[in-house]
Amino acid sequence: MALDYRERIPNNVDLGDNRALQRALEHWQPRFLDWWKEMGPAAFAGADVYLRTATAVDERGWASYGMVKMPEYRWGIFLADPVPDRRIGFGDAYGEPVWQQVPGEHRSALRRLIATQGDTEPASVEQQRLLGDTCPSLYDLRNLFQVNVEEGRHLWAMVYLLHGYFGRDGREEAEALLERHSGDSDKPRILGTFNEPITDWLSFFMFTYFTDRDGRFQLKSLAESAFDPLSRTCRFMLTEEAFHMFVGTSGITRVVKRTLEVMKASGSDDPAAVRNAGATDLPTLQRYINFWFSSSLDLFGAEISSNAANYFASSLKGRPDEARFAEHMAIGQSLRVEVPDAKGGVAAEDVPMRSAMNEVTRVAYVRDCDVGVQRWNRLVTEAGYDFRFRLPSTRFHRGIGVWAGVRTDPEGCPIAEEEWRLRQRDWLPSAEDRGFVASLMQRVTEPGKMAGWIAPPEIGINNTPLDYEYVRLN
């Protein structure tokens, strides 16, 4: 059946005029829908959800709200407006005009970058597919689904690039994006964190805070790319990503708030008492932070990376906000990177800047992660408690890079295996912690009502009152 693309797939890339692309997408679209029905939030296919849909990139068009059944969501393809006479901002081709087509010599590297980014988008939908069953409120349920459909749209964005610019290789890559599945033992998703199941809402808020924020930094780096269609695609994705950051930040903030209320009301900060009163104790929240932060740090890749150096040299992937750097070639500079030394301690190594690009991005990410942590600490202080949240060292609990598999405490001091074994449960969520958090997950679907472990949000979505029926379950 022929589709009216202007109607069915809102876009600003003249889809209706590009026959080859249209044919490729006609082939891919039903597979995407099958994937959504099978791997997405299947139990809610018939629900009406108050969703934001992008129908244009200008201020008014990118956020139109209305009740939509998710399988009927209009997943559009949008590129941010072109920057006139845009020039390459970094690497060996610095200052030259940007590329509107893929240069032959960079074809496979670019395809790999786009496929890796694209793989994370459906992966997160798969990871979160059962969360709807235990939503703490209709407000949160709606936000989950908004994030889910937008990750679906990000998949469309990457598939558009693969189909539009990479010929048959791109089409095969686009198929593979629907064939790999999160946690699948035969065909897992490409990056480790995207194979971790997300079965409780605390993990969902941690994921949107820490892991989506990695996505934000990756998109910022790709938005610098000399390949202009990729840059413009990522720039528009970043506007949606801002909402995902909000879900994480406000979600954890509300959990902290509720915990502090319970501590005040019961007059005790004893973790067992807090749990008995139906809230998450602060040390458990810290362990969740330790887990999701360290797991998300791995997504930036190794501290010393020839791939990162090549991506930068060939102007494919820059540094987030490249313009804030004084110089854009990164030749003859170095970055001091911490590495394990032979005696089980910490040493410093000067790494050529281009090879340290992953670390440059990771450092910016860590600084950004700390903003929320300080906000949560202000709440704790205002409530009159001494507890302080903190990000663990970037050496703690790493699975990729120079610190992979090295046992350290949260301060990053290397420790013996035996001490790790004894202390691990103080630092990372134990099976018992996860069991407790799971026990809190009770489904609340009465408009305006909240589960007891989380405070209500400050305001509703798009100026709606908080008791608005954001999801009609039907």
Binding interface with Fe ion (CB under 5 A): 121, 151, 154, 212, 215, 244
Our CB check for Fe ion shows the closer of 201 and 453 to be: 201
Q: Which is nearer to Fe ion, 170 or 215 (CB)?
A: 215
Residue among 210 and 453 whose Cβ is closer to Fe ion? 210
- Give the number of residues written for the chain: 474
The set of residues, in sequence order, having a beta carbon less than 8 Å from that of 159 and lying 6+ positions away, is 25, 28, 32, 118, 174, 177
Cβ 406 to Fe ion shortest distance, Å = 30
DSSP symbol at 207: I
φ and ψ at residue 459, rounded to 5 degrees: -140, 160
φ/ψ (deg, to 5) at 336: -80, 120
Residues linked to residue 69 through DSSP beta bridges, in sequence order: 48
For residue 280, the minimal CB distance to Fe ion (Å) is 24
Shortest CB 216 distance to Fe ion, Å: 8
Gyration radius of the chain over CA positions: 23
**Shortest Å, Cβ 227 to Fe ion:** 19
Report the residue number, 119 or 212, with the smaller CB distance to Fe ion: 212
Tokens of 380: 């704790």
330 forms beta bridges with none
Q: Considering the complex, what minimum distance in angstroms separates the CB of residue 219 from Fe ion?
A: 8
> Nearest distance from residue 241's CB to Fe ion, in Å?
5
Minimum CB–partner distance for residue 399 and Fe ion (Å): 22
Q: Please report, as a single letter, which amino acid is at residue 31.
A: R
- Are 40 and 70 in contact by the 8 Å Cβ rule? The answer is yes
Query: Pick from 390, 431, 427: which is nearest to 409 by CA?
Result: 427
Task: Please state, in angstroms and as integers, the Cα–Cα distance from residue 284 to each residue in 6, 141, 202, 281, 288, following that order.
Answer: 49, 24, 10, 6, 6
Contact 316, 227 (CB under 8 A): yes
Nearest distance in Å: CB 299, Fe ion: 13
Task: Give the residue with the Cβ less far from Fe ion, 121 or 140.
Answer: 121
Provide the strand spans (E) within 167-271. Answer: none
Task: Provide CB contacts within 8 A for 325, sequence distance 6+.
Answer: 90, 319
CB-nearer residue toward Fe ion: 215 or 229: 215
> Shortest distance, CB of residue 204 to Fe ion, whole angstroms?
12
Tokens of 249: 């930040």
Q: Which is nearer to Fe ion, 157 or 450 (CB)?
A: 157
* Ordered DSSP codes for 319-351: -TTGGGSS-SS--S-EEEEEEE-TTSSEEEEEE
Report in angstroms how near the CB of residue 424 gets to Fe ion at its nearest.
30
Helix (H, G, I), strand (E, B) or coil at 250: helix
In the complex, minimum distance from the CB of residue 117 to Fe ion, in angstroms, rounded to a whole number: 8
Nearest residue (CB) to Fe ion, 139 versus 207: 207
Q: Residue 333: what residue type? A: Q
Q: Which is nearer to Fe ion, 215 or 401 (CB)?
A: 215
If the CB atoms of residues 98 and 230 are measured against Fe ion, the closer one turns out to be 230
Torsion angle of the four alpha carbons 128, 131, 135, 140, in this order, in degrees rounded to the nearest 10: 10
Nearer CB in complex with Fe ion: 118/429: 118
Q: Which segments within 54-148 are labelled E, that is strand?
A: 64-69
**Cβ atoms of 242 and 219 closer than 8 Å:** no
Rounded CA-CA distance 362/126 in Å is: 26
Q: In the numeric block, which tokens belong to residue 418? A: 């035996």
